[in-house]
Structure formats: C-alpha cells, structure tokens
Amino acid sequence: MAEIAFEGFDPPHQSDTRTIYIANRFPQHGHYVPQKFADNRIISSKYTVWNFVPKNLFEQFRRVANFYFLIIFLVQLMIDTPTSPITSGLPLFFVITVTAIKQGYEDWLRHKADNEVNGAPVYVVRSGGLVKTRSKNIRVGDIVRVAKDETFPVDLVLLSSDRVDGSCHVTTASLDGETNLKTHVAVPETAVLQSVANLDKLVAVIECQQPEADLYRFVGRITVSQQTEEIVRPLGPESLLLRGARLKNTKEIFGVAVYTGMETKMALNYKSKSQKRSAVEKSMNSFLIIYLIILLFEAILSTILKYAWQAEEKWDEPWYNEKTEHERNSSKILRFISDFLAFLVLYNFIIPISLYVTVEMQKFLGSFFIGWDLDLYHKETNQRAQVNTSDLNEELGQVEYVFTDKTGTLTENEMQFRECSINGVKYQEVNGKLTPEGFSEDSPDGNRHSLMKEEELFLKAVCLCHTVQINADQTDGADGPWHANGITSPLEYYASSPDEKALVEAASRVGVVFTGTSGDSMEVKSLGKPERYRLLHVLEFDPNRRRMSVIVESPSGEKLLFTKGAESSVLPRSKSGEIDKTRIHVDEFALKGLRTLCIAYRRFTPEEYQEIGKRLHEARTALQQREERLADVFNFIERDLELLGATGVEDKLQEKVQETIEALRLAGIKVWVLTGDKHETAVSVSLSCGHFHRTMNILELVQHKSDSTCAEQLRQLAKRIKEDHVIQHGLVVDGTSLSLALREHEKLFMEVCKNCSAVLCCRMAPLQKAKVVRLLKTSPEKPITLAIGDGANDVSMIQEAHVGIGIMGKEGRQAVRNSDYAIARFKFLSKLLFVHGHFYYIRIATLVQYFFYKNVCFITPQFLYQFFCLFSQQTLYDSVYLTLYNICFTSLPVLIYSLFEQHVHPHVLQSKPVLYRDISKNSHLGFKPFLYWTILGFFHAFVFFYGSYLLMGEDTSLLGNGQMFGNWTFGTLVFTVMVITVTMKMALETHFWTWINHFVTWGSIVFYFIFSLFYGGIIWPFLHTQDMYFVFVQLLSSGSAWFAIILIVVACLFIDVVKKVLYRHLQPTSTEKAQLTEAGSGINCLDSMCCFSDGETACTSVRRMLERLMGRCSPSRVNRSWSSSDPFYANDRSILTLSTMDSSTC
C-alpha cells in the first residue's frame, strides 16, 4: 500500500497502517506510545491573522509587474529622481491593497464557514454517558452518536444502529452527488451493542490503512475481545461512514472516529483552485517583456544622448546651473548609473501596473454573466450554469478540440429496458409481458401467463444480482394489489447504477419482483409467490473485472452464484449455455445502440462453497495487498459459469445533441467521443447523434493484440486517407489498440487522427482518456482542448484539458467539483462557446491591447520632451497627473467595455457558428494586432506632442492678458488632449452602448476637467509645491488652446476611422458582415458605418450612410448577410442583452 505523508503523524510510528483503540482504551501493559493523529478541525482558509500580510505580499510580488514597480519605487526613494516616489508608490499601493482586500475577504468567508463547521454540536460517548461537545474536539477513537438527517462530523466505522442487523442508510450527495441511498453495515459482534452502557464496555481495536483520498476504498479489520477469545472481522467501504454524508431512514447510529479533520476523505478531496493558465495571459506576459525592452532602450538612449550633449562645455555647465564641488568630483560610472535609473523612473509608466488588477476584476465580474444567463438554466432540474474558475473565461473562445464522454453527457443516462436474450432466444417486453421474437399478442402462444423455467431463472438472477434498494416508506406496500399477471403497484427503487434500476424495474413488470432485503435475506416474488434467498457474499463491481456477482442460498438450501457484467468479461468465463447465439444477439443489440450486459450463474457443491468461504475471509481480512488478493479470489470463484442470457437497455440521447455537434463542426472544432462502452454500441450512438455521418468513410483500429499488427494497420489507414482525401473520414479506436498505438507509434497515430473529421475511442479506461487529451494538448500545434463529462471516470480528462466542463448529470457531482465550468446539458455548450467564449475573448483581447496603447500614448511625449530640455529628466506632466492617469482618468471606460461589449448580437453568434473561426488561434492577440496598437500609440503620442508644440509652442503669448505659456501649461495641454483622445478611442471600439458606457465614457472626461479645475484652482496646504496653481484655468481661458485640443483630437482619430471604414468595405471579416443587425429588426443607424449590401462598392455604402444620417434611411433596401431561414433562437432570454436595439432611429 502506498504510504501517504500527512501532518500530525508522529514520524517514529509512521507506518502503512494506523491502530485505533476504541474509546481510547490503550493497553495497560508494556511501554505503549500512542500514535499521534490530527485533530478534527477543518481548515479550508489560506491565511491566519498573523501570516496574512507577509504571505499575501509575497504572493503578490511574485507577479513580474508588481515586483518591477516595487524596484522602481525603491529606486525613487534612494536616488534623486525627476518624479516623486508617490507617482509609482501610490498606484502600486492601490493595486496591492485592492487585491489584498479581495483575497482577504474571500479568506474571511472561508474562516467563517470553517468556524461554523468546527463549532457544530456533537454527542460523544465518554465515561459511561453521552457528552455534548463541539465537532473540533472529537479525537480518533471516540465513539460518536449521529441521529437521523444529521451529517457525519468525522469518518466513522459503523459500530451499531437502531436496527437489529446493524445496518443504516446514507446519502453521499454532498461528496459525489449520488442521491441514491447506500446501505452500510456493522460487524455482527458490535451490531448488538445498541445502548451507551453496552458500548462503554466494548474492548476492541481497529487496524486500518492511513488516510487516502479515494472515497470508495477502505481497508481495515476490527479485533473484538469477548471473554477469552478475540474475533477478527474485515472492514471495507461498506463499514465506513464518510464525513459530509447524511444519515437517512435510520433513527440513530454509533460509530468510532477513524480519520479526523484534514485527514478525512472529504478534506483530502478538497481541490485547490485550478492552476490552468489561459493563452491570453501568456500573450500578456510576452507583451510585457517587449515593452520592458522598449523601456530599457528609451532609458539607455536618453542617458547616452545626455552625455553626448554635455560633451559641449556650454551645455555641460551653463551659467545658470553651476555644479557643486561634490558633483564635479563624483564617479562618472556612478553618475551614468544614477542617470539611467532616473530615466527608467521617468518612463516606467509604459508598463501598465493596473492592467493586472483590471484583468482580474474583468474576469471575476464577467464570470457572473454565465451564471445569470437564463439560456443556460435547466428548468427541469432547477440548475444554472456554474463557474468554478473565472481565470479561463476567454479560453472558451479558443477551443479547437472537444473531448466528450458518451453516457450521461451525450445521452440522458436514463435507462429503459428494450430487449433481452434468454437461452438463445430473443425477447421483447410487450404490455408488461416477455414475448419471444416473432410472437405477437394474437398468435396462439402469445398470451402466456406463466414463465418458462429458463426465463424465471434469468429474471431471478436479474432480481438478485444488484445493489438496488427500496424506499423505506414503501417496503410495507409490497403486498399491495396483485394483477392477473403478477404486477404490483410499482415499488420505488434506488440504485447507484441506472442500468440496474432499469433491469429490476423491467423484471418486476413481467412478474418477478424484488421486494427488498431484511437482514441478510433478499426477498423476491415470482408470479405472486414469495421466496427468500439468503445473501452470503457480494463480489463488488470493479472497472477492471467489469462484472459483479452475488452468492446466495436458495430456499431449497442450494448455494448459487449469479454474475452479470460486460460480454467481454462474462462470455469467456462461461462453459455452457447458448454462448454463440447469445454473442450474436449481444452484437445485434449493440448495433441498435443498446447497452448490453450478460448474465450467468453457477451452482456450488458444499465442498466448493467451504473452500470459497475460507479464501474470501482470508483475502478480506488481509491488510496488505487486499485488492490484489480479492481480485484473485473473485477470478477463482467466477469461472465455469453457465450462461443464462443477455440484456439490452437503451440510453436516450439528450435533446439537441445532433445540432450542437453539427454547430461545433461548423465552428471548426473537432469532436472526439471517448467512452467505456463497447465498440458496436459506441458506433451506433455516434451515428445517431451526428458525430459520424452516414456518408463518412469509417476507419477502424480495433482488437489489436500485438505491436506489429497495430503499426501495420496504422500505416494502411494513413495510406487510405491520402488516397481518398476528398471524402471525410471517421476513426474508431478501442482501448487496447490505443495503448499499443501510444506506446511506439504516437506520431503515426496522431497523423491519422488529425486527418479524420471525427474520432471515436471506445472501451476506454479513465486514465486513457486523460492520456489522449494530453497527447493532443502537447502536439506541435498546441491546440486548445476542452473536455466535457459527467462522471467520476471523466475527472482525469477534465483536469487534463485546457478547459474542463462538468455536466450536472445522474452520475454524481465529482465531474462538476473538479471542472472549471459546469452546465446541466450538452446542448448548452454551443452558447457557452459561441456566445460567452466569443464575447470574453474579444473583450479581453481589446482590454489588454488598449492598456498597452494608452500607456504608449502617455509616456512617449515624456520621452520626446527630453529632446527639448537637454535630457535634464524634467517631467512633462505634474506628478498628480502621473499618478491618477491609470487609476482614475482612463480606467473605467475600458473596464465597462470589457464587461458589456457585444460586437455582434448573441442571436447571430449562436445561429452562425462559422463566426467562431474569426477568433480562433488567438488571432486578436497575435503579433500583427499588437504591432498595430503599438504603432497607433506611438503615432498618437507624436501627434499630441508635436501638434501641441507646432500650434502653441512657438507663439507663446496666446493668453488674453499677454501672459506667456510655461512648461506646465504645455504639459497640461498635451495631457488634456491625451485623456480625451484615448477615451474617444475606446468609444470608437465600442459597438454596444448602454447607459453605463455613456456614463463612464463622457463622465471620465468631465471628471478630468472638474478635478483639474479644483486641483489647480485652490491652494492645498498639504502640498509642498504647487506648480499647477491656476495653470488649467488659464489654459481653458485661451480660445486657441480649445482650438488646438479639438484639432489634435480630430487629427488623431480621423486616420483610425478612415482605416476602419476602408477595411470594413474592402476586406470585411465574416464577423463584420454579421454586424448588420439582429434578425428581423431594422438596421441600427448607430452602426451605419458597418452596413453594406452584397456587391456594393465602398462609395455606394458611404452615400447610403449619408442618406441615413439625413433621415432618408430605408432598411428594406439592405440585403442582410444571412438568409431568412437561418435558425434564430426565438426563446433567447439572455441576460447579456442589456439594452434593446433601437430600430426606430431609421
């Protein structure tokens, strides 16, 4: 057994097992040193009051930009720099504080939840009585009492319940989402101890494995001392009650604490937040490095030019600025370094510090839209979409491969019995009767009331070999009214497997009814006649054996084994029965898309049974390699079977699966189905859900046992694909062939897969699913992958993919807990990707590039100004403006844009999946768009600076009273033009205007003017210098300054508008074509620049735009770029549509 290290263990006693003395009665003799165990406190929080500040600061300064600004701040403190330390200290402090508050608040909520859990009242048996204490005070070895509908406070081994047989029912919905009742049983020796007084006398020791995260695995044994003898009993998962599970249908239980606090299985399953990183974040980091290089280049160039300039005597030491003796004698190298650092500080704002905090806020706030979207809400189950990781929102817009599970994801996981094969004859259920194929109701033999011997035995096997339970309130109703053919008023069954439930319900409809268990007996009514079978052993299902069995004693005393499982694991172990006929029937069922199970049995002689009982006991009480020993014993028992027949159960497809898969294909996304089902079933479902087309050439790589045959087949497939490259190909691979292909021929296998439109992998183990995802993820193209599944077997695949999506299905909540996003139905995937993914990607791509653009605009005039001030490091802007530019003046419009922007209507995006291709492969954050935004930033900065200089710089006496312009007035003019231009640039990028956009866009400009008037119009006592006093008021009182501002803003944005118009009309993308308008309504005149008809020239388009503006708008003349037959979603109730498109303007 693998050894797991946990805090709280005493290293000298660290071993593979732990020994627990019940009620902490330690042995009195010898030098017994008890093992140390963790206390029962649950800690999900990250920080404490003492470590919050250092730990949080350490985490934040691991970010490159934060650390860089810290260095700049320290440089400003240490040397004489042109700007105040406040200019970089304040934004840094703001960013660090906002992030710390957010993280601190989240952690405080976790602390609050922890305290609630740890302080919950519990009852513990101590010194002969029940003592009330808090949950956190429970120790390993304590006997705990839990009442009905309470949750278990620790992992307990069940000692006794209020039932004589020591059984109890539990629901584990909060752990794995399974709502069915699970039965747990105590060992017979402790089951009789139902009172506190009796339990207090119990002397017993439990030995079990050290804690591990697997919810379904527990290996241990209990040694009960009674008088002189010691009785050893095995303990398995059926004896362990997990923390977080809830007691149902049982008045009370007593159990002994074996794992506490952070060592409970629930705590070990806590998953830390996903560490996946999106492609946008990687692009952002590479852009930061490029800007860092630009910054260093500007600083080095300025330093070199300064010294080149100062080589001339008159500029080195002008008469008005003589050097001190100390300055003359200081080291040149130190002076050079000091000047370089000063320039670095002067230009440091080219690196946008607030970018990180804005991106974080955008992701966090933007993720709420997914949960609020009513189109992703499933009414039947009352489930909304769920976001577990907001870091990956934009990745939803970049998906190239979708890996999906089949059962429960593409299908409903609602099983309906369809057909069965008994003793080589096919049967169907017709009106509650089993009818052999070819018989009808009217045929002379069709109306049979009795069952043949083989049929009855087959149905009894179905009714006995399962883990189904009956609703406790209904067990008395089993003797309800019987109909002629022996059907009762239906009982309500609970099962962990929908297949089992469907089979037991089908058997009850045709006359063999499972009426429940009492103690170790299973009761069956066969055509109204009750029979009681004693349950001797259950050989549990496991994914490797792919079968389960029960050993029962029939009413006549015969020992029988009933086995059911996949045909690949039952047929080879059968020695008699209609094996060949059944095999043919199983394949026929599979071709119809039915899920198949084979059923067999075996009779034991008393000697055989004795041997089996002995072997099972030995394996079950082993502490080392228990699983391996049990597997060997199970294989020994489940052999020489007599085949009874097979069942075919249908799993219905979810609605709109076909449309969703087709839409994904149109969007350029390749869909792979990875399933554990058998080959024929999987292919049949693939065809019915549209994953495979009837016209597709289906290639197969199945049932290969050796490396060489697998390689040969792969080569042949590659050759066939090259020869028939015109038609589409689909590939089917099974688990065994896949492991051979991945071992030696990975490259060849990948080549075949990439040339296929659809790939289906069947008979897959959970880890194989993850391997396939990893294989594609790490291939040279590095495509973005998405995995979607609903069961525990899909968790590894969900965690491996770039984006993991859990389906809130019937197979528990493990997939949902481990996913990044969770939705209720597969059909919601199209809206999640085509609408939300598209919007998030466009928003964040613009956000990142706009941030870099506005900082280039901000700092380049500062660099150009140095050429006019002898590189004396004089700042162009006042330090308050330097500080507030990114925090106040330009931060809100881009944040609001990144939350609300919809460049195309959601209806259009969903009905035209082809638009998804426009944003694939990170196209909006590639090198070309980045270069465009950077060059635009430099261009605008040159226009701001030289425009202001040419219009105002030469003729300085432009003020009414003859006063001259100073350097602060010039800097303020440049800054004013800049704030207006970058805000207007954001307005130009916005397609979707809400009142919030209007408020923050125009409000930011108004706020800048009001702030500047207040800041410069009043003498503030706490400022030691006030260079800006009355500067802004004077600037605004000059008519020529107003003229300059308007002229420069128009000059900057005019080029941008012309470029947009030309590109839209000469080289429109399919997204720009779709920006016409939403279906059915008129053209929105606000977007009139985007309107054009097929076959029009740019001039016609411009003419029509002018006609519109003059009120001669005729929407009817415009041909929309999609046909009227396009499927629009009439019931789209998206929360995203924040304002209606106003067609009345036309």
* Active site amino acids: 405
* Residue among 601, 494, 617, 622 nearest 547 (CA): 601
Strands 129-134 and 121-126: antiparallel
Exposed e or buried b per residue across 370-404, where buried means at least 16 C-beta atoms within 10 angstroms of its C-beta: beebebbbeeeeebbbbbbbbbbbbbbbbbbbbbb
Residue appearing with tokens 């600076």: 945
Strands 803-807 and 785-789: parallel
Q: Is 179 helix (H, G, I), strand (E, B) or coil?
A: coil
Q: Residue 645, Cβ neighbours under 10 Å: how many?
A: 29
* Residue among 700, 715, 597 nearest 645 (CA): 597
Measured distance CA(607)–CA(775) in Å, rounded = 52
* Residue among 268, 224, 288 nearest 5 (CA): 268
- 695 vs 410, 659, 691, 726, 964, CA distance in Å? 21, 17, 12, 12, 82
* Beta strand segments in 543-628, E: 547-553, 559-565, 574-576, 594-604
Task: Specify the amino acid at residue 403.
Answer: F
Q: At what angle do helices 838-865 and 927-948 cross, to 10 degrees?
A: 40
Measured distance CA(496)–CA(181) in Å, rounded = 8
388 touches 822 (CB < 8 A): yes
Measured distance CA(630)–CA(614) in Å, rounded = 12
* Residue among 414, 421, 416, 450 nearest 433 (CA): 450
Strands 521-526 and 529-542: antiparallel
* Residue among 526, 458, 457 nearest 487 (CA): 526
Measured distance CA(528)–CA(524) in Å, rounded = 9
Measured distance CA(330)–CA(317) in Å, rounded = 15
Exposed e or buried b per residue across 279-317, where buried means at least 16 C-beta atoms within 10 angstroms of its C-beta: bbbebbeebbeebeebbeebbeebbeebeeeeeeeeeee
* Residue among 802, 889, 866, 868 nearest 837 (CA): 802
* Residue among 469, 618, 604 nearest 536 (CA): 604
At residue 565, φ and ψ (nearest 5 deg) are: 180, -175
Measured distance CA(896)–CA(1001) in Å, rounded = 9
Give 889's contacts (C-beta < 8 A, 6+ positions apart).
979, 1004, 1007, 1008
* Residue among 561, 459, 733, 616 nearest 570 (CA): 561
Which helix (H) or strand (E) element contains residue 785? strand 785-789
* Beta strand segments in 827-910, E: none
Task: Specify the amino acid at residue 215.
Answer: L
Q: Residue 49, Cβ neighbours under 10 Å: how many?
A: 7
Measured distance CA(128)–CA(124) in Å, rounded = 10
Q: Read off the DSSP letter of residue 649.
A: E
